[in-house]
Structure 1
Amino acid sequence: MSKIQRLRHEFDTEQVPELSVRDIHSVSSLCKMYFRELPNPLLTDQLYDKFLDAAGAAEEERVQRMKDAIQQLPAPHYRTLQYLMRHLASLAGNCSVTSMDARNLAIVWAPNLLRSQQSPSACASNEAACMELQAQSAVVELLISHADVLFCSNSTTAVGEGELLPPLA
């Protein structure tokens, strides 16, 4: 925890941390903490139900419905999600080295990207909380597994606030 706090302090004070010598787990924990503490999650509160509905749709509709939902995100959220999902898809593609497939990554990242719409008392039971986490994980797993289709770099469609997105290098 002290490594994470030190790294966070360096970012907060606008110092440039030396990330190459840091523990990769500290860096990933700091990233998850950043997303978890956003006032409005990356997959916004306003679109929460659309993301859950897309992940729960019939198999032949899932990807298109997810694409429709992510295209409603504000442009900064979309760009950040695009970069993060491509990175996580890359990690999942190397699961023989990372030991993290799309499902495992989704379980770890979902609570940081989506915020439950249920009141804390509604999620008081372990069963309700578990079902909520499963639904959130299904959304993130779909985003990771289909990142190449959902975030086509050759697409010129306007996203968010009408901005065109450049392809990632």
Structure 2
Amino acid sequence: RSKSMVLGELSRLSRPCSPQDQEKPLKAGWLKRQRSIMKNWQLRWFVLRSEALYFYKDQDESKAQGCIPLQGSQVNEVSAHQDEPGRHLFEIVPGAGEKDRSNTGHESFLLMANSQSDMEEWVRAIRRAIWAPLVFGQHLQAIMSYESQCGPQRVVPVLVEMCASFIREQGLKEEGLFRAPGQTNHVRELQDVFDRGKIPVFDSTDVHTVASLLKLYIRELPEPIIPFSKYTQFLSCAQLLSKDKETAITELSKQVKSLPQVNYNLLKYICFLDEVQLQSIDNKMSVQNLATVFGPNILRPRVEDPVTMME
């Protein structure tokens, strides 16, 4: 009986284990998994691919011991038991279709990371594999193309539109707007909702949380609003402003108009920040303060070092 149960577990985990060698792993690293029969922990090398999370006895192994299917699944952070603090746990819950095929009921796959940050990275990466395309960390052109297929045509991502609208209505006079941090857990919850392709409700949300969400979205763009290829030209315009303002503004206008359309639209849209600085007597966010907050996320080089950061 024990042998058949163990074989059943291996069968459940091993069914789709045929990773495509040519596919680049999305993430890899050591995790502990809890075996469903013995409830003990087993250290394994995990490799995340688009269709499943594979695990190996050693990182040099070429044949996977088993894998956890991802299609239709959910991944959740799990609070450690009060008697066992310091455990960084998360679970993968099979989707309805997966549960029907494997007869595993509501049983989930429990995993343990080495640290809180490592656990959060794994959860994020797995969600990316399950829900792709995401909103956060997605190229601007890709998210605009995706959203255009799912609803009315927009000039900027729905997240940006919602955040700007909420801030306009609720928080233009809020002191420290865009500087004071929002509620970290709530920001992460809202991020997850958007990444699942759903639209959250901001009604009772703190304005600093919405502002932090908008900053996070802009910061996580794989390429900034001003593309890497334009970095030198825009920086030159900025340096020219102190020498020949008229020429610099002319050149800056030329560079702005040369941006890809989706980048131009987003840059133009977030210029609602002008409305923020008009209320700087109340919110204490002058042009200079806003530039300090947003500048590095709008314009940054492909490779950052101390020299380019100072520039």
Larger radius of gyration: 2
Residue in 2 that maps onto 1:30? 213
Q: CA RMSD in A?
A: 1.6
CA contact under 8 A between 1:33 and 1:112: conserved in structure 2? Answer: no
Work out the CA distance in 2 between the residues paired with 1:28 and 1:81.
16
Task: Please give the alpha-carbon distance, in whole angstroms, between the structure 2 residues aligned to 1:46 and 1:25.
Answer: 32
Aligned to 1:144: none
> Partners in 1 of 2:308 and 2:211 — Cα distance?
24
CA deviation map 1:39-75 (0-9, x unaligned): 2210110111111111111222222111111111000
The number of equivalent residue pairs is 125
Q: 1:107 is matched with which residue?
A: 292
Match of 1:78 in 2: 264
CA contact (8 A) 2:187 2:212 kept: yes
Where 2:296 maps in the other structure, the secondary structure is helix
Number of the residue aligned with 2:187: 4
Residue pair 2:190, 2:200 contacting (<8 A) in 1 also: yes
Alignment of 1:14-25 (within 5 A): 14-25=197-208
Matches for 1:33-112 after TM superposition, within 5 Å: 33-57=216-240, 58-85=244-271, 87-112=272-297
Residues 100-121 of structure 1, C-alpha deviation per residue, up to 9 Å, x if partnerless?
A: 011100100012112234x45x
Which SS does the other structure have where 2:197 is aligned?
coil
Q: Partner residue of 1:136?
A: none
The letter of the residue matching 1:101 is: S
User: 4+ residue runs of structure 1 moved beyond 6 angstroms?
Assistant: none
Query: What one-letter code is carried by the residue in structure 2 that aligns with 1:105?
Result: L
CA distance in 1, matches of 2:203, 2:285: 21
- TM-score w.r.t. length of structure 2: 0.38
Report % sequence identity.
30
Matches of 2:194 and 2:292, distance apart in 1: 26
**Larger helix fraction of residues:** 1
TM-score (norm 1): 0.68
In the alignment, structure 1 segments of 5+ residues that lack a partner are: 133-169
Gaps of 5+ in 2: 1-183
Which structure has more relative contact order (CA 8 Å, sep 6+)? It is 1
Q: CA deviation at 1:19?
A: 1.5
